[in-house]
Amino acid sequence: MRIVLVGPPGAGKGTQATRLAEKLRIPHISTGDLFRANISRQTELGKLAKSYMDAGNLVPDEVTIAMAKDRMEQPDAEGGFLLDGFPRNVSQAEALDELLQTEGIKLDAVLDLEAPEDEVVKRIAGRRVCRKDSAHVFHVTYSPSKQEGVCDLCGGELYQRDDDSEDTVRTRLEVYHTQTEPIIDYYRAQGLVVTISAMGPVDEVTGRALEALKSGK
């Protein structure tokens, strides 16, 4: 199965992508992982991407597309894949269509995770991370530490990352609405969009997604 996963920041895409890819036995291909892997291996594409990033510029679409193409051509992706973070705009979606057509394959579904904007802001802005170990993450509402501002696991200070502030989250949402959300209409015109609610326990959202993909609704 070949799937594109979309949704606003805070909708739980990363968590659901990992779970769905495991359930469907297909590789999870995320833009972030592609960049990190190529830069770490010092591939030509990685060096090119790093040159833009070091200069404080966005990585051009053609570089991202080339990375995605290379990854989708790996043996483990022959039976399908789940794309997370790509395509990020309509231009990338069009390029992906051209790429798949060249390979004689097509997408099976575009899974759209929906979450109210206020809930998204609450989810992200409420996160608190441990300064000693960034893997220790709490939430002021959903998973608070026993002592405010102190990590339960190591006693480190809990803080709010700059990119988790409410103002930053709302800016990220605006970017999503402007740049990424239009791909939903693009794919809806192709009859590929399957929309589900991203609200509720993680297991419920995963089950909802699997059922929606199975039924195509």
pLDDT tens-place string over residues 72-82: 999 999 999 99
Query: Is the predicted pLDDT of residue 185 greater than 90, yes or no?
Result: yes
71 part of the active site:
no
Q: Is 120 helix (H, G, I), strand (E, B) or coil?
A: helix
Band (pLDDT 50/70/90 cuts) for residue 216 is low
For the stretch 68-105, pLDDT in tens is 999 999 999 999 999 998 999 999 999 999 999 988 89
User: Exactly one of 47, 161, 188, 214 is catalytic; which is it?
Assistant: 161
User: Exactly one of 19, 122, 123, 127 is catalytic; which is it?
Assistant: 127
Cα–Cα distance measured from residue 86 to residue 68, given in angstroms and rounded to the nearest whole number = 8
172 part of the active site:
yes
Separation in Å, CA 24 to CA 28, 33, 82, 118, 198: 10, 19, 9, 31, 19
User: Exactly one of 2, 88, 132, 208 is catalytic; which is it?
Assistant: 88
Residue whose C-alpha is closest to residue 186's, from 109, 119, 94: 94
Section 31-53 average pLDDT: 92
170 part of the active site:
no
36 part of the active site:
no
User: Exactly one of 19, 123, 128, 172 is catalytic; which is it?
Assistant: 172
208 part of the active site:
no
In this structure, the number of other CB atoms found within 10 A of the CB of residue 100 comes to: 15
Separation in Å, CA 44 to CA 62, 67, 70, 74: 13, 10, 12, 17
Query: Is the predicted pLDDT of residue 217 greater than 70, yes or no?
Result: no
| Tokens standing for residue 165 | 């502030």
